[in-house]
């Protein structure tokens, strides 16, 4: 038999379907909002209850940078703001 | 100057009784409408003060005639209050959450404060707060005692449609509407905010009607029948009913009738008011017309496809349009349309008179409306319109023309019009054409544009619209012209191209043995209006002859180089310097849906104008040539020698023998039944395989005898019409007929036709047609053929409906997405970002080569050819050069270019040029700001929907897993159903298992879920020993690898013993368990013995060089934790599960790959960018949202947008209670009110600084 199922046997961040998620620093977040000329709520959301958010320990209002693997552009950057469930 | 204002927003609310009285011009009392003379009675519903409809009469209120009187409201004073049905639920909730005595919300002051604060915060931040309101309501409704006055609350119930019942101690008591109203009155404004009601626009007591507004007659016109009788509108009938009851009720109340009479009458009044508002209200019988038809009252007027929103607001009828039958005309250009003279004389174009066109327009005016190039109206500078039909002296009028006048002249050749064929499934369903006025009565179009319109000429009709304003004309010319739509944004390849016989003609022209003499050449050159030098003949003797390739080459640009493979024989086609050197021209060269064809290259490299000219000429050349040469297809083409038929008979004999063998093997049970199949299915599967082999080999046998010059063969191979399968069916054998992809099996008892023996499952008895269309079908075969044909028809009919609805939902969900100036994809109404770069690389698929922007090898070859060779640039140089452009070019292009440049050993100079050109190409391929990419996406996914198959359970692998595919699966994905109907997983294994089939199989057994019920054969109750005994199937146990230990652990919590010798599990029963023996047994049988829950079956497959497990049923969380599973690569098709376990980003990826898979499987070509946008839209909110009324559309902030989609009435009612404001920014709202939408060319607005303007030269203050 393989390894015994110890605490979390897997890390969702390493699953092939999950792209790279990073937390933006406050200044980076501000810069992004300024560049796009928007408020936070106009960004796509990611829920606080999202497994990846929990794993990263992000809070409501944080912005997460997602670096996706892209079929068209190679890699593509996406942003989501952590949002409370409504 | 006429004063006008534009609507900036619409506020929804409830009319207060005061307001209703204030806006009323007459109190309506009399239930009778007309007196003996047929004149309307004042104070009746036809009161003349409500406005007039009769020509010649003037309105008693405003004095206008029926044309300009807007109509005026009246009102009815109701003798008792009535609860408005639409607000019944709101009223009920309000009563439940407020105190019956003091009217305060049933929350302590502290809570009120806390919640108000939270709501205020959310509102200020513009965040959604519906869920909070829901929580507040729940909390208040469950409070028993009022925290403010200490009153005990009674239970309240809502009796549909609109009666409130209070459960007093003495029993249920109905609350009169008056009581309800006075309770609602007591609720203070400040508490209402917590209940999501805006007291400023909608006081709750207004939800109980005391005064009913009476709409003007304008809204409910009566019609006079031929017999002279008047027939009143449904609303009028209903109002009369209300008045009649109101009058009786009032009389009874005045005379002091007993209360049961009054109660009954007020119930009746309630009923009439309810049905007046909504005749489909739950709990109220619909009011019916004398004929039995249900009345169409207020709610019904708004609702559904036939309702106000969808019939009159989202879509409107237009002027300046025409419709007639279409017919083909290859002599027209592809961007032209033949317009019948009669049509041209009806439609007009408004032309402004200027110094330059005055003479021309004068001539038109002189001709008048009845002589062809004429005019119908002129508009004088003072705005007065003169209809030329009524002018006797046209010459005089013509001479009066001067700049400033507008002449509405007949449609003329060269005008731009919009041409459309329904269903308008994609943007190429409406294109701009140039008019060619022609005799006869049909619209004519070039057959090359049949594909985008999906038109044929079996009686199709099309619509034509004449744009009137300069803006509309410009937009039509610049964006909508046929040549600008040659490349489809759905897949980035031409959708307009040569079709049908024209392809056959081009093949015949360009094949190697086609030679033309001087006369023929002259005819062809004339057809394409060739003006240059005649090329030297390819053959000099005995007489000068030219090849067809030479003629075709004349159409190509002189510097055109290209090579690809033909569709006819998959051999190379080579073009050098505009000369077709090798190969034939067919669908792969100039046809539709082919990327990188000659046509595609010309459009991309030489522009749409050149491509249009090319297509025009190709079509003309083809028709001329085939007219000259002739092409027929006759029965003779389908005759093959007898040997072929003998061969086929041989095949049939072998097949029949094989059938007997298969049957015998199945009857004897010698066949291994694949898991998940019944023996019958396994047999059918084998038969289907056998019979399709039969048809294939029969087809193959015959093909050897079909000449390459056979017209049917040419048409099939060239892509003109038909396939090889059609030829096989005509010549060799028609083959198996099927219903729902199975052999035909229904009809009489155990047989399809009485002609057969019962249970005969031979090929013939189950719909195999041995004959070919040439040999002719016998009656039995004919019947089967018909059955199969009918199945096909039904399938198509069902499919069009389903895919139509899917498209409507897609459009509704995605319509407001556009590309902003910064390249982000946003929604027009809220400015929410959906994508940060359209399609992740910003490229418009319609400006790409099948989704690709740059093909490095082609680009580099082209550059190298024109740059002097030099020493290869170093890797560093290439990298740094490309690195400079990293902020412009997407990473994939940079990577590809780098690799290709190094491989090509390009010099520094070449590298510089390549990079420069790449940047240029990339920039010109980007989607433009304003592009309504959402609609394009919706169309690109919706349009091919009709081509998707319905009802397909695809069997992957060797008759193993059945997976839902095709349209149903696509709908499932966009619907975001919680669980797919066929959940499956693919589980790769760690190397230890992946290389070892035995271990892999053991693991599969570990995974497969087995419960006691799956393995037991009998159950007995042993009364002697108080035990329930399960006899287990030993064979199944060993198959699934279940050990004694597994069973014992599973029943640890019971007093259970397992005897492996006898394979009996006995469970001790307590007295309590005895009492519920049935339930206990069920529970025990549900007990898990082994495996992962929800995994119904796990099977090992070899994929490439590893073994993987595929499962039916999905349970991602547990599988990920399972030892031996390579969890990094585990896949499932359950999108919700992915969202829960791996997060929203993983779910987005899953949506993309699942939808891509469906389309790929069905052979449909849809650019990946559309799927990306769809997935991003479905996941913006952080959860997977459905494309439909509960998902994406519900999130829209606009009331009108939601109302225009589905559930109109309820949406409007809610909006009224909440006092919502629609800011009219989205597309739907703007279309409803008739304003330009804010995407595309409508996105451009003028911004100006009011501050700077304020002190302008003329001192005018800018209006805000």
pLDDT value of residue B958: 42
pLDDT value of residue B957: 42
Q: How many CB pairs under 8 A join A and B?
A: 151
Whether the CB of B845 is below 8 Å from some CB of chain A: the reply is no
pLDDT tens column, B545-571: 999 999 999 999 998 888 889 988 899
Whether the CB of B835 is below 8 Å from some CB of chain A: the reply is yes
> Domain limits of chain A?
16-83
pLDDT value of residue A5: 40
Mean pLDDT score across all residues of chain A: 84
What CA–CA distance (Å, rounded) separates B457 from B555? 29
pLDDT value of residue A86: 61
Whether the CB of B1021 is below 8 Å from some CB of chain A: the reply is no
- What percent of chain A lies above the pLDDT cut of 70? 87
Whether the CB of A17 is below 8 Å from some CB of chain B: the reply is yes
pLDDT value of residue B127: 65
Which residues in A lie closer than 8 A to residue B1179 (C-beta atoms)? 44
Q: Which residue has the higher pLDDT, B1089 or B668?
A: B668
CB contact under 8 A, B1124 and A2: yes
Chain A nearest-CA distance from B1134, in A, is 13
Whether the CB of A75 is below 8 Å from some CB of chain B: the reply is yes
> Is the confidence at residue B614, as pLDDT, over 90?
yes
Nearest Cβ partner of A76 from B129, B837, B843?
B837
Distances (CA, A) of B562 to B578, B579, B978, B1080: 9, 10, 50, 77
Helix axes B908-925, B875-884, angle to 10 degrees: 30
Mean pLDDT score across all residues of chain B: 86
B312 φ/ψ angles, rounded to the nearest 5 degrees = -115, -15
Residue of chain A whose Cα is closest to the Cα of B1006: A1
- How many CB atoms are closer than 10 A to CB B518? 13
- Ranking B67-76, B297-306, B323-332, B1047-1056 by mean pLDDT, the lowest is B1047-1056
Chain A nearest-CA distance from B139, in A, is 17
Whether the CB of A61 is below 8 Å from some CB of chain B: the reply is no
- What percent of chain B lies above the pLDDT cut of 70? 97
The residue length of chain A stands at: 86
**Model confidence at B1065, in pLDDT bands (50, 70, 90)?**
confident
Which residues in B lie closer than 8 A to residue A37 (C-beta atoms)? 822
CB contact under 8 A, A10 and B1127: yes
**Model confidence at B624, in pLDDT bands (50, 70, 90)?**
very high
Chain A nearest-CA distance from B1143, in A, is 5
Whether the CB of B824 is below 8 Å from some CB of chain A: the reply is yes
Whether the CB of A25 is below 8 Å from some CB of chain B: the reply is no
Which residues in B lie closer than 8 A to residue A21 (C-beta atoms)? 1145
Whether the CB of A81 is below 8 Å from some CB of chain B: the reply is no
CA B911 from chain center: how many Å? 45
B930 φ/ψ angles, rounded to the nearest 5 degrees = 100, -25
Please give the full DSSP string across B671-698, using - where no structure is assigned: SPPPTT--HHHHHHHHHHHHHHHHHHHH
- How many CB atoms are closer than 10 A to CB B675? 12
Chain A nearest-CA distance from B410, in A, is 49
What CA–CA distance (Å, rounded) separates A36 from B843? 20
> Is the confidence at residue B949, as pLDDT, over 70?
no
Q: What is the largest CA-CA distance in chain B?
A: 120
Residue of chain B whose Cα is closest to the Cα of A81: B1182
pLDDT value of residue B126: 62
Element (H, E) at B326: strand B321-328
pLDDT tens column, B68-110: 888 899 999 999 999 998 888 888 888 888 888 888 888 888 8
CATH number of A16-83: 3.90.940.20
Whether the CB of A19 is below 8 Å from some CB of chain B: the reply is yes
**Model confidence at B125, in pLDDT bands (50, 70, 90)?**
low
Name the DSSP letter for residue B586. S
CB contact under 8 A, A21 and B1145: yes
Which residues in B lie closer than 8 A to residue A74 (C-beta atoms)? 890-895
Residue of chain B whose Cα is closest to the Cα of A15: B1128
Nearest Cβ partner of A71 from B130, B826, B1168?
B1168
Nearest Cβ partner of A72 from B834, B841, B1143?
B841
> Is the confidence at residue B371, as pLDDT, over 60?
yes
pLDDT value of residue B1177: 93
B959: left (phi over 0), alpha (psi -120 to 50) or beta: left
What CA–CA distance (Å, rounded) separates B344 from A57? 70
pLDDT value of residue B283: 79
Which residues in B lie closer than 8 A to residue A22 (C-beta atoms)? none
Residue of chain B whose Cα is closest to the Cα of A8: B1121
Q: Which of B231, B210, B256, B250 is nearest to B82 (CA)?
A: B210
Mark B507-517 as b/e (b = at least 16 C-beta within 10 Å): bbbbbeebbbe
**Model confidence at B673, in pLDDT bands (50, 70, 90)?**
confident
> Is the confidence at residue B960, as pLDDT, over 60?
no
Chain A nearest-CA distance from B323, in A, is 42
- Ranking B25-29, B733-737, B860-864 by mean pLDDT, the lowest is B860-864
pLDDT value of residue B956: 44
Mean of pLDDT values over B1216-1224: 86
**Model confidence at B961, in pLDDT bands (50, 70, 90)?**
low
Highest mean pLDDT among B74-83, B297-306, B322-331, B715-724: B322-331
CA B538 from chain center: how many Å? 54
pLDDT value of residue B522: 93
What CA–CA distance (Å, rounded) separates B774 from B634? 11
Whether the CB of B888 is below 8 Å from some CB of chain A: the reply is no
**Model confidence at B676, in pLDDT bands (50, 70, 90)?**
low
Name the B residues in 683-712 with CB < 8 Å from any A CB. none
Which residues in A lie closer than 8 A to residue B835 (C-beta atoms)? 78
**Model confidence at B853, in pLDDT bands (50, 70, 90)?**
confident
What CA–CA distance (Å, rounded) separates B942 from B971? 10
**Model confidence at B955, in pLDDT bands (50, 70, 90)?**
very low
> Is the confidence at residue A2, as pLDDT, over 50?
no
Domains defined for chain B, CATH in brackets: 25-72+215-302 (4.10.860.120), 83-207 (no CATH), 312-341+418-477 (2.40.40.20), 348-410 (3.30.1490.180), 501-628 (1.10.274.100), 635-777 (1.10.132.30), 818-946 (no CATH), 948-1179 (no CATH)
- Ranking B588-592, B676-680, B1018-1022 by mean pLDDT, the lowest is B676-680
Nearest Cβ partner of B1121 from A10, A44, A85?
A10
Strand order in the sheet with B163-168: B155-159, B163-168, B171-175
Q: Which of B449, B594, B575, B559 is nearest to B510 (CA)?
A: B575
- How many CB atoms are closer than 10 A to CB B707? 10
Nearest Cβ partner of B890 from A36, A41, A74?
A74
CB contact under 8 A, A86 and B892: no
pLDDT value of residue B3: 62
Nearest Cβ partner of A73 from B892, B1145, B1150?
B892
pLDDT value of residue A9: 62
CB contact under 8 A, B1182 and A2: no
pLDDT tens column, B504-541: 999 999 999 999 999 999 999 999 999 888 999 998 88
Mean of pLDDT values over B684-699: 88
> Is the confidence at residue B1259, as pLDDT, over 50?
no
> Is the confidence at residue B1256, as pLDDT, over 60?
no
pLDDT value of residue A6: 43
Which residues in B lie closer than 8 A to residue A73 (C-beta atoms)? 837, 840-841, 890-892
pLDDT value of residue B1: 42
Name the B residues in 1129-1158 with CB < 8 Å from any A CB. 1129-1131, 1138, 1140-1146, 1149-1150
């Amino acid at each position: 038999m393989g390894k015994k199922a110890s605490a979390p046997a897997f890390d969702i961040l390493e699953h092939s379907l999950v792209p790279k998620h990073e937390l933006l620093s406050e200044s980076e977040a501000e810069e992004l909002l300024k560049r796009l000329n928007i408020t936070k709520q106009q960004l796509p959301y990611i829920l606080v209850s999202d497994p990846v958010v929990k794993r990263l320990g992000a809070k409501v209002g944080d912005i997460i940078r997602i670096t996706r693997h892209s079929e068209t552009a190679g890699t593509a950057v996406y942003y989501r703001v952590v949002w409370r469930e409504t | 100057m006429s004063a006008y204002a534009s609507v900036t927003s619409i506020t929804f609310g409830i009319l207060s009784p005061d307001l209703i009285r204030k806006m009323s011009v007459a109190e309506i009392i009399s239930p009778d409408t007309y007196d003996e003379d047929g004149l309307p009675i004042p104070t009746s519903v036809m009161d003349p003060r409500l406005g007039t409809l009769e020509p010649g009469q003037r309105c008693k209120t405003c004095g206008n005639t029926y044309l300009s009187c807007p109509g005026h409201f009246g009102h009815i004073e109701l003798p008792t209050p009535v609860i408005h049905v639409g607000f019944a639920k709101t009223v009920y909730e309000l009563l439940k959450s407020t105190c019956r005595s003091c009217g305060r919300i049933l929350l302590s002051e502290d809570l009120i404060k806390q919640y108000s604060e939270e709501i205020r915060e959310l509102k200020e931040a513009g965040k959604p707060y519906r869920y909070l309101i829901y929580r507040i309501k729940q909390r208040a409704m469950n409070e028993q005692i009022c925290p403010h006055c200490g009153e005990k609350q009674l239970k309240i119930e809502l009796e549909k449609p609109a009666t409130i019942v209070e459960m007093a101690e003495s029993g249920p008591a109905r609350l009169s509407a008056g009581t309800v109203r006075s309770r609602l009155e007591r609720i203070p404004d400040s508490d209402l905010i917590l209940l999501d009601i805006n007291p400023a626009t909608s006081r709750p007591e207004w939800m109980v009607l005391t005064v009913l507004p009476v709409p003007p007659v304008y809204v409910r016109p009566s019609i006079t029948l031929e017999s002279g009788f008047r027939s009143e509108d449904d609303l009028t009938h209903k109002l009369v009913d209300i008045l009649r009851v109101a009058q009786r009720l009032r009389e009874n109340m005045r005379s002091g009738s007993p209360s049961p009479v009054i109660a009954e009458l007020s119930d009746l009044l309630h009923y009439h008011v309810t049905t007046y508002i909504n005749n489909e209200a739950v709990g109220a019988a619909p009011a019916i017309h004398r004929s039995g038809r249900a009345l169409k009252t207020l709610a019904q007027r708004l609702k559904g496809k036939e309702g106000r929103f969808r019939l009159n607001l989202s879509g409107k009828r237009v002027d300046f349009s025409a419709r007639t039958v279409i017919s083909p005309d290859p002599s027209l250009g592809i961007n032209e349309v033949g317009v019948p003279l009669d049509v041209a004389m009806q439609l007009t174009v408004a032309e402004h008179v200027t110094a330059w066109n005055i003479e021309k327009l004068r001539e038109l005016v002189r001709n008048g409306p009845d002589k062809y190039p004429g005019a119908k109206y002129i508009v004088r500078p003072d705005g007065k319109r003169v209809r030329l039909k009524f002018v006797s002296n046209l010459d005089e009028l013509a001479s009066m023309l001067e700049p400033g006048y507008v002449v509405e002249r007949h449609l003329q050749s060269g005008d731009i019009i919009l041409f459309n064929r329904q269903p308008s499934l994609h943007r190429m369903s409406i294109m701009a054409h140039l008019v060619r006025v022609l005799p006869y009565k049909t619209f004519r179009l070039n057959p090359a544009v049949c594909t985008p319109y999906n038109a044929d000429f079996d009686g199709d009709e099309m619509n034509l619209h004449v744009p009137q304003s300069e803006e509309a004309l410009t937009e039509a010319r610049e964006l909508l012209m046929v040549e600008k739509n040659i490349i489809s944004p759905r897949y980035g390849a031409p959708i307009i191209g040569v079709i049908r016989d024209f392809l056959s003609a081009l093949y015949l022209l360009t094949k190697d043995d086609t030679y033309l003499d001087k006369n023929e050449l002259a005819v062809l050159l004339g057809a394409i209006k060739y003006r240059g030098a005649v090329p030297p003949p390819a053959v000099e003797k005995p007489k000068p002859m030219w090849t067809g390739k030479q003629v075709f080459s004349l159409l190509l640009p002189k510097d055109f180089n290209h090579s690809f493979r033909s569709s006819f024989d998959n051999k190379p086609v080579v073009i050098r310097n505009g000369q077709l050197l090798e190969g034939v021209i067919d669908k792969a060269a100039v046809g539709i849906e082919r990327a990188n064809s000659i046509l595609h290259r010309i459009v991309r490299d030489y522009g749409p104008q050149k491509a249009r000219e090319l297509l025009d000429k190709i079509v003309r050349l083809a028709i001329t040539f085939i007219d000259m040469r002739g092409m027929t297809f006759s029965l003779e083409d389908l005759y093959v020698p007898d040997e072929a038929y003998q061969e086929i008979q041989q095949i049939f004999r072998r097949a029949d023998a094989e059938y007997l063998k298969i049957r015998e093997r199945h009857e004897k049970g010698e066949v291994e039944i694949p898991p998940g199949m019944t023996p019958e299915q396994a047999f059918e599967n084998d038969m289907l395989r056998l019979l399709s082999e039969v048809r294939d080999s029969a087809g193959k046998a015959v093909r050897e005898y079909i000449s390459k010059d056979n017209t049917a063969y040419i048409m099939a191979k060239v892509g003109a019409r038909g396939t090889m399968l059609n030829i096989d069916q005509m010549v060799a054998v028609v083959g198996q007929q099927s219903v729902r992809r199975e052999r035909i099996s229904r009809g009489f008892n155990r047989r399809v036709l009485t002609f057969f023996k019962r249970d005969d499952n031979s090929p013939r008895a189950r719909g195999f047609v041995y004959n070919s269309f040439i040999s002719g079908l016998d009656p039995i075969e004919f019947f089967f053929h018909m059955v199969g044909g009918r199945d096909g028809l039904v399938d198509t009919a069902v499919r069009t409906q389903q895919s139509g609805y899917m498209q409507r939902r897609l459009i509704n969900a995605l319509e407001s997405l556009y590309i902003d100036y910064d390249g982000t994809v946003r929604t027009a109404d809220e400015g929410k970002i959906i994508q940060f770069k359209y399609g992740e690389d910003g490229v418009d698929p319609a400006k790409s080569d099948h989704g690709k922007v740059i093909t490095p090898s082609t680009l580099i070859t082209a550059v190298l050819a024109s740059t002097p060779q030099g020493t290869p640039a170093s890797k560093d140089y290439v990298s740094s050069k490309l690195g400079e452009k990293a902020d412009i070019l997407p990473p994939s292009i940079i990577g590809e270019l780098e690799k290709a440049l190094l491989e090509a050993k390009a010099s520094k100079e070449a590298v510089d040029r390549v990079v420069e050109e790449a940047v240029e190409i990339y920039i010109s391929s980007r989607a433009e700001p304003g592009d309504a990419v959402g609609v394009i996406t919706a169309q690109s996914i919706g349009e091919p929907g009709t081509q998707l198959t319905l009802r397909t359970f695809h069997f992957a692998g060797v008759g193993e897993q059945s997976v839902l595919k095709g349209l149903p699966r696509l709908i499932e994905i966009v619907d975001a159903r919680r669980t797919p109907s066929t959940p499956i997983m693919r589980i790769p294994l760690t190397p230890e298992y992946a290389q070892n089939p035995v271990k892999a199989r053991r693991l599969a057994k570990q995974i497969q879920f087995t419960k006691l019920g799956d393995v037991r054969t009998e159950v007995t109750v042993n009364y002697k020993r108080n035990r329930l005994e399960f006899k287990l199937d030993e064979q199944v146990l060993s198959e699934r690898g279940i050990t004694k230990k597994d069973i014992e652990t599973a029943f640890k919590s019971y007093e259970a013993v397992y005897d492996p010798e006898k394979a009996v599990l006995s469970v001790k029963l307590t007295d309590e368990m005895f009492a519920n023996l049935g339930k206990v047994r069920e529970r025990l049988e549900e007990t898990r013995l082994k495996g992962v829950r929800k995994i119904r079956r796990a099977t090992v497959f070899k994929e490439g060089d590893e073994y993987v497990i595929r499962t039916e049923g999905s349970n991602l969380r547990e599988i990920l934790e399972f030892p031996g599973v390579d969890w990094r690569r585990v896949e499932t098709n359950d999108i919700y599960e992915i969202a829960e376990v791996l997060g929203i980003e993983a779910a987005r990826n899953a949506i993309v790959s699942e939808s891509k898979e469906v389309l790929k499987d069905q052979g449909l070509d849809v650019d990946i960018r559309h799927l990306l946008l769809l997935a991003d839209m479905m996941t913006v909110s952080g959860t997977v949202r459905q494309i439909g009324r509960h998902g994406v559309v519900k999130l829209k902030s606009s009331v009108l947008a939601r109302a225009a989609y589905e559930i109109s009435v309820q949406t409007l009612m809610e909006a009224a209670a909440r006092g919502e404001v629609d800011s009219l920014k989205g597309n739907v709202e703007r279309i409803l009110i008739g304003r330009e939408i804010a995407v595309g060319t409508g996105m451009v607005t003028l911004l100006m600084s009011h501050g700077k303007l304020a002190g302008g030269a003329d001192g005018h203050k800018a209006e805000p």
